[in-house]
Chain A
Amino acid sequence: SYELTQPPSVSVSPGQTARITCSGDALPKKYASWYQQKSGQAPVLVIYEDSKRPSGIPERFSGSSSGTMATLTISGAQVEDEADYYCYSTDSSATRFGGGTKLTVL
């Protein structure tokens, strides 16, 4: 079945660039979205259609996709960006979310 693979964790210091990857065989044909989930809260959409940013999301969040890999980039990561991040891609019945990446900023 279709799967999306993410690294379990990424760690950066404040002000550094964090990159979180998501790999999947269908990504060349399907858009990726990214969600941020802070502890105890509902997820928030931060990137859609590989690289578009919803209104209200800081410009330091960006996305890209090439081949079978999508990447979420946080340029100048802040302490408040510490959260779990999930990629998502539409498939009619298969797993749609990646396993999640815990971003630590300290």
Chain B
Amino acid sequence: QVQLVESGGGVVQPGRSLRLSCAASGFIFHSYGMHWVRQAPGTGLEWVAVIVYDGSNKYYRDSVKGRFTISRDNSKNTLYLQMNSLRPEDTGVYYCAKDWGPADTRPENWGQGALVTVSS
């Protein structure tokens, strides 16, 4: 079965960087698009970024463009989110999610999330 395990969360000061990883198993990783979705405490879901199956196309929400980079290593079945210039409003649980197909259709399966806290 599909398994997605996020890691790399923690407490970081504003302006600093953090890299999240998502280890995937139970499906053919290189055949699917992958998403990052976050959720600030007590609020709704917020889509962050998507990368298509081969990494050739990436899309970001406006508020993270230029600061966050989504990438993938298909040889390691791993998705990444490099987060730079972090702000307090980036605080939340970050979920990785497998897309329905190879590109950018919809998140289908979700991990359990990694908590990122941006605070001085």
* CB < 8 Å neighbour of B47 from A44, A95, A100: A95
Additional A-B contacts beyond A93-B62, A97-B47 (10; CB < 8 A): A33-B106, A43-B45, A43-B95, A44-B110, A54-B108, A90-B105, A94-B61, A96-B47, A97-B45, A100-B45
CA distance A74 to B60 in the complex (A): 32
Q: A98 — which chain B residues lie within 8 A by C-beta?
A: 44
Seen from chain B, the residues whose Cβ lies within 8 Å of a Cβ on chain A are 37, 44-47, 59-62, 65, 95, 100, 104-113
Residues of A in contact, count (CB < 8 Å): 24
A-B contact count (CB 8 A): 55
Is the Cβ of B95 less than 8 Å from the Cβ of A42? yes
Interchain nearest-CB distance for B79 vs A (Å): 15
Query: 18 A-B contacts, Cβ less than 8 Å apart?
Result: A35-B107, A37-B45, A42-B110, A42-B113, A43-B37, A43-B95, A45-B108, A92-B59, A92-B104, A93-B61, A93-B62, A94-B61, A94-B62, A95-B47, A96-B47, A97-B44, A97-B47, A100-B45
